[in-house]
């Protein structure tokens, strides 16, 4: 698959270090709380799987799939919960695990919905952040890496559903 990669942006080793650093902080911050790791499918799957195994606390996990209307280059800004499933978050300390925050539309919607459904607290953990692209404000509580405005793939992130299984994060090589 390496021939489809323009360059490696974040190596497997760097990802591991970031996961350990964040997990340590979460372990300190959530002592005595009713922690739910809420994974946003599909892209956050590897990050959440690695993170949860390094958090040294009792916790539960849950998953959501979200739909954003529009296509690859245009988003209408309307986000909804897919599959009609809403995780039971009432009274829980929810830590949303996200692969990347771009415009912020997805997470501002999700955080608001969870507070409306009675979560005790909602915090956001993202592996990658493109702050320069923000349209809606989102408070990032735990961050892996701030990145430039590049389209990245790997470690959960896809291009047309592929490349999610790369163990590093790279920039896709586009055909001329
Ligand atoms: P937001 O609502 O913050 O604009 O969108 C976040 C979602 O957009 C991410 O969960 C991801 O699915 C997608 N996304 C944003 N930037 C990238 C990128 O560089 N690469 C990939 N593969 N997906 C991205």
Q: What is the 3-state secondary structure (H, E, C) of the chain?
A: CHHHEEEEEECHHHHHHHHHHHHHHHHHHCCCCCEEEEEEECCCHHHHHHHHCCCCCCCEEEEEEEEEEECCCCEEEEEEECCCCCCCCCCCEEEEEEEEECCCHHHHHHHHHHHHCCCCEEEEEEEEECHHHCCCCCCCCEEEEECCCCCEEECCECECCECCCCCCEEEECCCC
Average pLDDT (18-43) is: 97
Ligand 1 mutation pick, 124, 136, 157, max ligand atoms within 8 A of CB: 157
Tell me the CA–centroid distance for residue 31 and ligand 1, in Å.
31
- 50, 93, 99, 102: the catalytic one is 102
Tell me the CA–centroid distance for residue 89 and ligand 1, in Å.
24
Active site residue 102: yes
User: Which range has the top average pLDDT, 56-70, 79-93, 110-124?
Assistant: 110-124
Sheet with strand 5-10: strands edge to edge? 5-10, 169-172, 152-153
Is 136 a residue whose pLDDT tops 80? yes
Q: Per-residue confidence at 69, pLDDT binned at 50, 70, 90?
A: low
Tell me the CA–centroid distance for residue 84 and ligand 1, in Å.
22
Average pLDDT (130-143) is: 95
Distance CA 19, CA 53 (A): 10
Is 87 a residue whose pLDDT tops 50? yes
Is 75 a residue whose pLDDT tops 70? no
Average pLDDT (76-102) is: 88
Percentage of the residues of the chain whose pLDDT score is greater than 90: 82
Cβ–ligand 1 distance for 172 under 6 Å, the answer no
Is 73 a residue whose pLDDT tops 50? no
Cβ–ligand 1 distance for 153 under 6 Å, the answer yes
Nearest CA to ligand 1 atom 17: 151
Q: Which atom of ligand 1 is nearest to the CA of 133?
A: 4
Cβ–ligand 1 distance for 103 under 6 Å, the answer yes
Q: Per-residue confidence at 175, pLDDT binned at 50, 70, 90?
A: confident
Q: Per-residue confidence at 93, pLDDT binned at 50, 70, 90?
A: very high
Q: Which atom of ligand 1 is nearest to the CA of 99?
A: 10
Percentage of the residues of the chain whose pLDDT score is greater than 70: 93
């Amino acid at each position: 698959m390496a021939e489809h990669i323009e360059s490696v942006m974040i190596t497997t080793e760097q990802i591991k270090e970031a996961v350990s650093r964040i997990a340590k902080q979460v372990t300190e911050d959530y002592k005595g709380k009713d922690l739910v790791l809420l994974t946003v499918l599909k892209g956050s799957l590897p990050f959440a799987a690695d993170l949860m195994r390094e958090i040294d606390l009792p916790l539960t996990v849950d998953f959501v799939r979200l739909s954003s209307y529009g296509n690859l280059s245009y988003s209408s800004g309307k986000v909804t919960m897919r599959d009609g499933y809403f995780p039971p978050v009432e009274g829980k300390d929810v830590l949303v695990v996200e692969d990347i925050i771009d415009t912020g539309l997805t997470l501002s919607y999700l955080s608001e919905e969870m507070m409306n459904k009675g979560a005790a607290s909602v915090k956001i953990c993202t592996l990658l952040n493109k702050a320069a692209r923000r349209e809606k404000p989102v408070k990032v509580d735990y961050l892996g890496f701030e990145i430039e405005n590049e389209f990245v793939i790997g470690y959960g992130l896809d291009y047309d559903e592929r490349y999610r299984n790369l163990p590093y994060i790279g920039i896709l090589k586009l055909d001329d």
